């Protein structure tokens, strides 16, 4: 039994996430957490809400609520939606937790003791109207390169040129719109990542099995231009982890907080401690997942994230871990994803363009979305959600292939043999050939899952479903029954066992439908098959079952057109 630690990039607290966010981290992480549990591995699957930073403050202000109250409420909302999508976290924590506060301050103290934190006097834009320093992204103006009038102080999204706030023409606050800005001097702490460049480079080069997307982004940040830069880890904000050096105050840093990208990845560790604390377990219960001197040397640690998060997880967070000088577990494999676009454009949280997780669940059950998103995961390039493709995939894969098989087999058996697995007959050459096909199909499926190739795994699973359909169509028990009811009984007995086989293999992708299939055939047996022939005899003759309701309803053209129109505009 392996020990598998899985973390998903933690979603920001400022609103409900869209489907592009879901498929870029949490959903594929859940797929592999479920798969490894099914294979008998010990799994710890951790996620949390990312609750600090300016966007959280602004979202709370817009909602007219104190920020602590807003974050607590939104954590509950995100946790509930995640549960409805079947995301099987062992713990869904909060970066504002006392555990994360203590660990973040601990790491800062260790890094300072190692000479890896530097105090820097820098100039930042201050908005008199807002009464606060403005992060670069909250300063807007005209791009000096292309003339785009809504360029941000960190980058122009029109021409992608990297900018400083002082580069902008006619700069203004993105919060209030005020142009009453001035440059003030302030002191901040910087993590001296550049001192760890060689160590990080050696570590990244040792990961020969990482996806090209992950390593290419990491190496670009390491080597392009001036190479890996030191990074500010504090901000002039009210909400966040107060700057301390371990348990001690940090002179000159009063009233400042750690930057959200410093404390957010540490929450992976802290959330595991939250899990242990909630269960009344001792420190060893969580440390065995994270400290190599407490047993974590045997853990395989997998991270899942969108490509925009890769630099922080390949460089900044590892720099924190390595720089601490303590035996913390480093990630073994980072599965990164490109972007999922929406119907000819981009998903946009700010513009409400696309489908958000709560809206998706209002339309259709989670498994419809899980299947489409995972089978179209943007692994090697950006992919695009279109309503036509979604309709086709649901109707052909889920309704016509899997759902139709379950319906045909159970209904025919009920009509000819009753609601029990029929006895009589023996398996012949067609059944032997099917078992051979499924044995190879199972190996292909497992190989894809072991390599964390999401789309290939979905293709392999669908091929297993198709093999059963092709067998059923060729065997034609409805015709055979007229002349040879014993042979028809053997064919249906195998087909009913196939339903259980499908339920077990499909559970990582479509857990609710899997549970419905198992319920219908009256078994809780979820043992992963190692011998296909044995698996297809798991339900003996005489075993009772029930004909289930329709597993997957087809999407009509009318529904598709209605939804396409509904989600083309701005979210209410």
491 pLDDT exceeds 90?
Answer: yes
The residues pairing with 49 across neighbouring beta strands, listed in sequence order, are 94
Q: Which residues are annotated as a binding site for ATP?
A: 349
Tokens of 30: 């859940």
Of 558, 571, 572, give the one whose Cα is nearest residue 387.
558
Q: How many CA atoms lie within 13 A of 557 on its CB side?
A: 0
Model confidence band, residue 57 (pLDDT cutoffs 50, 70, 90):
confident
Residue ranges of the chain that CATH labels 3.40.50.620:
3-110+201-222+260-337
Q: What is the pLDDT of residue 571?
A: 46
pLDDT tens column, 159-174: 777 788 888 999 999 8
Instruction: State the chain's mean pLDDT as an integer.
Output: 94
CATH, domain range 117-191:
2.170.220.10
Provide mean pLDDT across the span 370-385: 96
Model confidence band, residue 135 (pLDDT cutoffs 50, 70, 90):
confident
Residue 365, sorted as left (phi over 0), alpha (psi -120 to 50) or beta, turns out to be: beta
Tokens of 443: 């190996």
Please tell me the least confidently modeled range out of 15-19, 50-54, 222-226, 419-423: 222-226
pLDDT tens column, 510-520: 999 999 999 99
233 pLDDT exceeds 80?
Answer: yes
**Number of helices and strands in the chain (H, E):** 22, 19
291 pLDDT exceeds 70?
Answer: yes
**What fold does the segment set 3-110+201-222+260-337 form as a domain?**
Rossmann fold (3.40.50)
Provide mean pLDDT across the span 56-79: 94
Burial 161-198 (b: 16+ CB within 10 A, else e): eebebebbeebbbbbeeeeebeeeeeebbbbbbbbbbe
Q: What is the pLDDT of residue 352?
A: 67
Residue ranges of the chain that CATH labels 2.170.220.10:
117-191
Model confidence band, residue 98 (pLDDT cutoffs 50, 70, 90):
very high
- Identify the three-state secondary structure at position 329: coil
CB 291 within 8 A of CB 329: yes
CA pair distance 371, 390, nearest whole angstrom: 10
Cα distances (angstroms) measured from residue 430 to each of 203, 240, 426, 473: 52, 65, 11, 12
Q: Which residues are annotated as a binding site?
A: 143, 146, 156, 159, 349
- Identify the three-state secondary structure at position 344: coil
Model confidence band, residue 572 (pLDDT cutoffs 50, 70, 90):
very low
Q: What is the pLDDT of residue 7?
A: 98
> CA-based Rg of the chain, rounded to a whole angstrom?
27
H-run or E-run covering 189: strand 181-191
Report angle CA 64, 65, 68 to the nearest 5 degrees: 155
| Sign (positive or negative) of CA dihedral 375, 377, 380, 384 | positive
**Does 1.10.730.10 match the CATH number of domain 387-535?**
yes
570 pLDDT exceeds 60?
Answer: no
């Amino acid at each position: 039994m392996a020990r598998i630690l899985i973390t998903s990039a933690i979603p920001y607290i400022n609103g409900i996430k869209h489907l592009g966010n879901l498929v870029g981290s949490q959903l594929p992480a859940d797929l592999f957490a479920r798969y490894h549990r099914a294979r008998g591995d010990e799994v710890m699957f951790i996620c949390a809400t990312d609750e600090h930073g300016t966007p959280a403050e602004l979202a709370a202000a817009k909602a007219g609520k104190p920020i602590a109250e807003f974050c607590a409420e939104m954590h509950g909302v995100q946790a509930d939606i995640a549960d409805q999508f079947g995301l099987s976290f062992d713990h869904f924590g909060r970066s504002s937790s006392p555990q994360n506060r203590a660990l973040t301050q601990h790491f800062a103290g260790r890094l300072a003791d190692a000479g890896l934190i530097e105090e820097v006097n820098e100039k930042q834009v201050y908005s008199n109207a807002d009464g606060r320093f403005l992060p670069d992204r909250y300063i807007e103006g005209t791009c000096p390169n292309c003339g785009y009038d809504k360029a941000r102080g960190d980058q122009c999204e029109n021409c992608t040129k990297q900018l400083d706030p002082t580069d902008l023409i006619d700069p203004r606050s993105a919060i209030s719109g005020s142009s009453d800005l001035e440059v003030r001097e302030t002191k901040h702490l910087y993590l001296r990542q550049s001192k760890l460049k060689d160590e990080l480079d050696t570590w990244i080069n040792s990961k020969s099995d990482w996806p090209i997307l992950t390593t290419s982004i990491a190496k670009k940040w390491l080597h392009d231009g001036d190479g890996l830069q030191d990074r500010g880890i504090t901000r002039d904000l009210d909400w966040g982890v107060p700057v301390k050096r371990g348990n001690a105050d940090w002179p000159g840093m009063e009233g400042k907080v750690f930057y959200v990208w410093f404390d957010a990845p540490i929450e992976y560790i802290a959330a595991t401690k939250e899990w242990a604390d909630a269960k009344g377990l001792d420190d060893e219960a969580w440390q065995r997942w994270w400290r190599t001197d407490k047993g974590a040397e045997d853990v395989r640690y997998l991270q899942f994230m969108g490509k925009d998060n890769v630099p922080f997880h390949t460089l900044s967070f590892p720099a924190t871990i390595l720089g601490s000088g303590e035996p913390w577990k480093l990630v073994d494999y980072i599965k990164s994803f490109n972007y999922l676009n929406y119907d000819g454009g981009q998903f946009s949280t700010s513009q409400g363009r696309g489908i958000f997780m709560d809206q998706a669940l209002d339309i259709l059950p989670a498994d419809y979305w899980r299947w489409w998103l995972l089978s179209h995961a943007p692994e090697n390039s950006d992919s695009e959600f279109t309503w036509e493709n979604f309709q086709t995939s649901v109707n052909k894969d889920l309704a016509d292939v899997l759902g139709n098989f379950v319906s045909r087999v159970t209904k025919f058996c009920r009509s000819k043999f009753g609601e029990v697995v029929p006895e009589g007959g023996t398996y012949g050459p067609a059944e032997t050939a099917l078992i051979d096909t499924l044995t190879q199909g199972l190996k292909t499926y497992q190989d894809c899952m072991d390599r964390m190739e999401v789309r290939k795994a979905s293709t392999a699973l669908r091929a297993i479903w198709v093999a059963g359909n092709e067998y059923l169509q060729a065997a034609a028990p409805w015709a055979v029954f007229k002349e040879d009811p014993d042979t028809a009984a053997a064919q249906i007995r195998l087909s009913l066992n196939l339903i259980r086989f499908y339920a077990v293999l499909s559970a990582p992708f479509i857990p609710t439908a899997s549970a419905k299939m198992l319920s219908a055939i009256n078994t809780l047996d979820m043992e992963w098959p190692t011998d296909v022939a044995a698996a297809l005899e798991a339900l003996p003759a005489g075993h009772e079952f029930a004909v289930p309701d329709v597993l997957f309803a087809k999407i009509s053209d009318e529904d598709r057109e209605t939804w396409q129109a509904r989600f083309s505009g701005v979210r209410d």
